Amino acid sequence: MDDTTPLASLSLTHVHYDPTDPISYLCAWLALVPQGLCVVYATLIWSTREVEIALMFAGQLACEALNFALKRLIKEERPRRMNGKGYGMPSSHSQFVAYFAVSLALFLIFRHQPVYQGRRRNHTPMTMAERAFWSVVGVCMAGAVAWSRIYLNYHTEKQVVVGCAAGTVSAIAWFILTAAVRQSGWLAWAIDHPIARFFRVRDLVVEEDLCQAGWEKWDDKMVALKARGKKD
């Protein structure tokens, strides 16, 4: 007997685009940026145990919850030539990438304070120019993703602008909140908790770059091996 049960579509990565248009094809890939960033979040949290990254991801989830609520409160439909599901105001993609880009810029420019004095042989911190450059790259990436939602006809211009505004406001508010938590001493207390120590949670990325983790030990080891080889 044939199974006549209707099947549903998991549209998490289901993107409609014009196969005859190269720009539309590129926009379809840009639509996957939020999913890719979630993978980046999870990978960095697990591999570095940095509390700053975990806090940023927590804010990202709160931003998504806000978008979920706003869509069901405003209840504005998507453009007519659109096969997607759900409401369109504000654009969740635009809000997601705007939060990420603004949070990254706020961290790199204001919170990231690399130690320059007493610089070690194998540690060269990022300069302000480099941090500003990566901040601009993040904002440009967010702008490309937001624009792609209009090009693919998933959202109107107004829905994208409101999404970017909501993501920006969320990032600034979360940055201020986490700054208050840091200054109050609650974050230091939480990191020193036995559970946090068991999971090796740390807060070093505010002073050193992520690529620095373990690099000094590795570089010292290689220098020692080369010195030993010269003696032999």
Reported as a single tens digit per residue, the pLDDT across 191-229 is 888 998 898 888 888 888 777 767 777 777 787 777 776
Reported as a single tens digit per residue, the pLDDT across 123-156 is 677 888 888 999 999 999 999 999 998 888 888 8
User: Quick check: 169 and 94 in contact, CB under 8 A?
Assistant: no
Q: What is the mean pLDDT of residues 108-123?
A: 72
Q: In 3-state terms, what secondary structure has residue 156?
A: coil
Reported as a single tens digit per residue, the pLDDT across 180-192 is 999 898 988 888 8
18 pLDDT band, cuts 50/70/90, is confident
Cβ-based neighbour number of residue 69 at 10 Å: 10
Note the pLDDT of residue 119: 54
**8-state DSSP, 76:** P
Residues 6+ apart with CB under 8 A from 76: 87, 88, 89, 159
Contacts 24+ apart (CB under 8 A), 173-178: 174/55, 174/56, 174/59, 174/62, 174/63, 174/99, 174/103, 175/103, 175/106, 175/107, 175/110, 175/111, 178/55, 178/59
Note the pLDDT of residue 141: 93
Looking at the predicted structure, is the pLDDT value of residue 87 above 80?
Answer: no
Q: pTM of the entire structure?
A: 0.84
